[in-house]
Amino acid sequence: MDGTTHPTPARLLALPSWVINQAAIAANRLTDRALAGTSSRRQFAMLAALDEFGPSSQADLGRCTGIDRSDVVAGVNAMVKQGFLQQRPDPADGRRNIVTLTPEGKDHLERLSALIAGAQDELLHALSPSESEMVVDLLKRVLDSGWRADER
Amino acid sequence: MDGTTHPTPARLLALPSWVINQAAIAANRLTDRALAGTSSRRQFAMLAALDEFGPSSQADLGRCTGIDRSDVVAGVNAMVKQGFLQQRPDPADGRRNIVTLTPEGKDHLERLSALIAGAQDELLHALSPSESEMVVDLLKRVLDSGWRADER
DNA sequence: CATGAATTGATGGCGTCACCAACGATCGAT
DNA sequence: ATCGATCGTTGGTGACGCCATCAATTCATG
């Protein structure tokens, strides 16, 4: 190896899973830096879900965001403590907690959303808008083809 | 929320970073299951690099695979212990260790390669070959546009 | 040649993440 | 009334990405 140049092995570049993972590493690093400790990506996902679907149980929250039930707990607790979420038992089902987005939570969501939007631009500045759209659409089809954690 | 269906929030589907990350989660899960404890993804990357570039220092190994120097150590030690790698000091540079792929390591690499190839097919079975190629090419351009860990 | 900057292997640690197993409580269907 | 499924919760696991630091060594500078 040269020492000054660091080419990537062709065997890795030929692996979609490798390339996708490296892209995800870059994407996560950029968004984490953009968020800069204000919140985690997971919490943003939960806020976004609550904003779009309204009050939900924690299990539903986890399902639509792809987050494990057990991991939703910590996120909900933290954001309740911050005043972004409200948690109350479901009167119609004693098992469930109904989680609601507070106005402060909504504000926080919009704040985070702006920060994350900037990260997207950094991440994809090498691609044209139509190319960016193409990557996203293709990857969405990959996701739709299955392979959530519990399935299969 | 419905409880039986679990739609993904549009705000997340609109984020390239989110979609890429979810795809990476699926990709990693599939490859990890394919490897099934025979080796880690990291170790495969290191084997692939050594096979393609020949004996390298640990630092170079880490650079071309995107693995931190400190994490290369553990991987090398483990694979030396397994007989897949050989480690000797560089006579020309007292700081470096020269890591070499053994014949057993080469065999192991090919074994892992076959397992991982299967995972790629599972991952991308919803896309045509040309579409798969397109995703990979586009993501490679994203990677080329920078954002390795130490830069910037 | 002497000095300081840079690189290397290595250790230890950090926080996040995805995931799993289990539990008591509760609900639903039979 | 019973059994299976679902809920929130706890606890834990392993891999991962990353960082700070260290002594040893090399290299570039004067």
pTM above 0.95, yes or no: no
> Domain map of chain A by residue range?
34-144
Number of A/B CB contacts below 8 angstroms equals 206
Instruction: Tell me which of 1.20.1630.10, 3.30.930.10, 1.10.3720.10, 1.10.10.10 is the CATH number of domain B38-144.
Output: 1.10.10.10
3-state DSSP assignment of residue B36: coil
Measured between beta carbons, the chain B residues lying within 8 angstroms of A31 are: 17
Q: Which residues pair with A97 in a beta bridge?
A: A89
Torsional sign, CA B77, B79, B81, B85: negative
Topology at the third CATH level for domain A34-144: Arc Repressor Mutant, subunit A (1.10.10)
pLDDT-derived band at A37, boundaries 50, 70, 90: confident
Phi, psi of A87 (to 5 degrees): -125, 125
pLDDT-derived band at B4, boundaries 50, 70, 90: low
Q: What is the C-alpha to C-alpha distance for residues A43 and B7, in angstroms, rounded to an integer?
A: 17
Phi, psi of B72 (to 5 degrees): -65, -35
Mean of pLDDT values over A64-87: 96
Question: Cβ separation of B141 and A120 shorter than 8 Å?
Answer: no
Q: Are B24 and A20 in contact (CB under 8 A)?
A: yes
Question: Cβ separation of B66 and A22 shorter than 8 Å?
Answer: yes
With a CB cutoff of 8 Å and minimum separation 6, the contacts of A84 are A47, A101, A102, A104, A105, A108
**Beta strand spans in B1-152 (E):** 56-57, 85-90, 93-101
pLDDT-derived band at B37, boundaries 50, 70, 90: confident
pLDDT of residue A112: 95
pLDDT over threshold 80, residue A6: no
